[in-house]
Amino acid sequence: MEDQMRSLLRRLVRRIPSQVLKVTLKKWGRLTAAQQQNIDSTPTKWALTDQLLAISEENGWTVRHVAELEMIYVIDKPNQGMWHTLRLVDPNSDAQTVDLIQFKEQFKSHLSEISRHVSVKMKKNADEAVWIRIAWGDSFSRPNNMKPTYVVHYLQTPYVFVTRLTSKKKPLLYQSLVRATRHRAIKDANLSGQNLSAIRDLLMQHYQQVFPGRYPSPLGERTQITSNPHVDQEQAEEGVKRLQMACEAFGAGKLPQLQSVVYKMETKFKDPKNQRMTQREEPFRCVVTFKSSNILESLRHCAASGIASTPLTPLLSSIPRKGSNYFVVTDNIPRAASQVSQQPN
C-alpha cells in the first residue's frame, strides 16, 4: 500500500510542472503552514520530490490522499489525454429528478456490485460538473491507481465525458452510468478531443450561436470596420451574406477549440476523367482528417471568405449542429449525391 502511494506520488510530481504543483498543493490544503513554506522555497524538482516523500511519511498519507491530489490537478488542467463523449439515451420518467446525492450513491453501489475492488472518488465542481475517478481492480488484485479512469458528467444533461477507459471496463462503466442516471442506454457520441473544455463547450452550446432573422446588421458593420477605407468593396453585400451564413452555421465570437475532424469516406470514386476508378463497384475507402488549432474558427473563416461555398454543405455544418467530429460518409443508393450519415464506430 505504501509502495503504491510513494510511486503514485513520485509519478505525479514528475508529471506536474513545479509551479503548478505548488499551487495545487496549496489548494489541496493538507500541508501545514511550515511544510507549505518549505515546498514553496524548494527550487528543483528532485528536491521537491524528496521533500514531498518525507512530508507524506510525516503526515501519514495513503493512496487515497494522493489520489485526491491527482484529482484536483486533473480538474484544474483537464485538457490533456484523449477525452471521449458518451450520450445517454431514452431517459426514464424520473431521470429529470435525479439529484447529486442520489446519483453518487447509486453510481457507487452499482459499480461496486458489478466490479470487485474498485476505488471510486466523486467530486462536484463549482460549474455543476460531477467528476469521478475510478481505479479498477479485479478479484485478484487491488485497485490500480496508476491508471485511473476519469469521468465527467453534468446532471440532467445527457452528456458524459471519459478518458483513459479500457475496452474491458467499458461495459461496467456504461451499465453503472445508465442505472445511476435512470436512462435506458448509453452510446458513443462520436466527439473526441484532447481539449475537454472545447468539447464540453461545443455540446453545451457555451458559445454565441447566431440565429437568422435577428438583427443582421451588426455583423455587416463588423466586416466594414476591418477593411481599408481606401478600398471599396464591389461585392460587399455578398460578403455580408456569406459572413451571416458562416456565423449561423458555426457561431459568432470565440468558438470552442476543437482540434480535429475526421471523415471516413465510403463513397464511390467520382471523377469523369478517370474512367478506371469510376468503373469500380466498391466504394473508395479513405479517411479525410482536418487538423487545426481551432477548427471551427478556420471553417467559419473559409465560409465567410468564400473558400467554402455557401450555403454550407451539411458535411461541414453538421460539426456544430450534431456536436460530432467523427463522421462516416456513405452514398445514399436511391440518390446520386452522397449524404452524411452518422454511424457509431
Partner 1 sequence: MEAAKGVLSQLSALEVRAKRRRVTSPSHADALRTRLDALTAQRERLKAEIHTLRDVEKRKMELNNRCPEEEEEAEDTMTGKLLHLMAKQTQLKELLRVHNITGGYNVAKTREGEGVCLTLATGYEGAYLDTYDLELDTRPALKIGRHNVPPFIPLGDLGERAGLQDDVRGFLDALGAHLNAFVGRREQLRLVKELHPSVTVMESNAPCTILVLMLSVPGENKTVLCTLNYTDRTRYLPTEVRFDCEDEKLPESPEWKNNRKLFMEMPVDRALRAMKDTTDQIG
Binding region for partner 1 (CB under 8 A): 96-97, 99-100, 128, 154-159, 204-205, 209, 211-214, 321
Residue 189: CB minimum distance to partner 1, A: 13
* 148 preceded by a cis bond (ω within 30 of 0): no
Nearest distance from C-beta of residue 210 to partner 1, angstroms: 9
Residue with Cβ nearer partner 1 (17 or 213) = 213
Measure the CA–CA gap between 107 and 121, rounded to whole angstroms.
11
| Between 204 and 329, CB nearer to partner 1 | 204
For partner 1, give the closer residue by CB, 214 or 285: 214
Burial 248-282 (b: 16+ CB within 10 A, else e): bbbbbeebbbbbebbbbbbbeeeeeeeeeeeeeee
Taking the complex as a whole, the smallest distance from the CB of residue 286 to partner 1 amounts, in Å, to 30
Taking the complex as a whole, the smallest distance from the CB of residue 209 to partner 1 amounts, in Å, to 5
CB under 8 Å to 144, separation ≥6 — which residues?
Answer: 135, 136, 137
H or E element: which one contains 150? strand 149-154
Cell readout for 259 is 482540434
Least distance in angstroms from the C-beta of 99 to partner 1: 6
Output the CA–CA distances (angstroms, integers) from residue 140 to 136, 144, 149, 252, in the order listed.
Answer: 11, 11, 19, 54
Secondary structure letter of residue 128 according to DSSP: S
**Which of residues 148 and 323 has its CB atom nearest to partner 1 in the complex?**
323
Pairwise CA distance, residues 330 & 41, whole Å: 60
- The smaller minimum CB distance to partner 1, of residues 100 and 146, is found at 100
Q: Considering the complex, state which of residue 236 and residue 288 has its C-beta at the smaller distance from partner 1.
A: 236
Cβ contacts of 19 within 8 Å, gap of 6 or more: none
154 or 290, CB closer to partner 1?
A: 154
CB of 104 to partner 1, least distance (A): 12
Using alpha carbons only, how large is the chain's radius of gyration in Å? 25
Least distance (Å) between residue 204 CB and partner 1: 7
